[in-house]
Amino acid sequence: MSTKPGMSIEDIVLRLVEDMLGVREVTLESTLIDDLGADELDLAELMMALEERLDIQIPDEVMEQLKTVGDIVDFVQSQTGE
């Protein structure tokens, strides 16, 4: 995944979701399972990629609560202070 320096958390998450799930037209309101077709393996891989890319930890109990792309952005921002 190529990201430009200075990209916002929102941009990074949107790009990563698009790349990992092979979808376009991702919005903050997009649900990971219903709208984007992610399964449990996709979600686990996405969370690991987010952890690695953004140097954060996403506990399993939090991962289960992240239903939309916006939920992910909100969580990441709460962890990074952005």
55-70: pLDDT as tens digits:
999 999 999 999 999 9
Q: Domain total for the chain? A: 1
Is residue 3 a part of any domain in this protein? no
Listed in sequence order, the residues at least 6 apart from 34 whose beta carbon sits closer than 8 Å to its beta carbon are: none
Indicate if 39 belongs to the active site. Answer: yes
pLDDT of residue 4: 57
Q: Which domain holds residue 15?
A: 9-80
Catalytic residue among 39, 55, 71, 74: 39
Tell me the three-class secondary structure of 22-76, residue by residue.
Answer: CCCCCCCCCECCCCCCCCHHHHHHHHHHHHHHHCCCCCHHHHCCCCEHHHHHHHH
CATH number, domain of 61, equals 1.10.1200.10
- Interhelix angle 40-54/9-21, rounded to 10 degrees, is 140
4-41: pLDDT as tens digits:
567 899 999 999 999 999 999 999 999 999 999 999 99
Is residue 70 a part of any domain in this protein? yes
Name the percent of the chain lying above pLDDT 70: 94
- C-alpha distances out from residue 14 to 20, 45, 51, Å: 10, 15, 15
Is residue 2 a part of any domain in this protein? no
Residue whose C-alpha is closest to residue 68's, from 22, 39, 29? 29
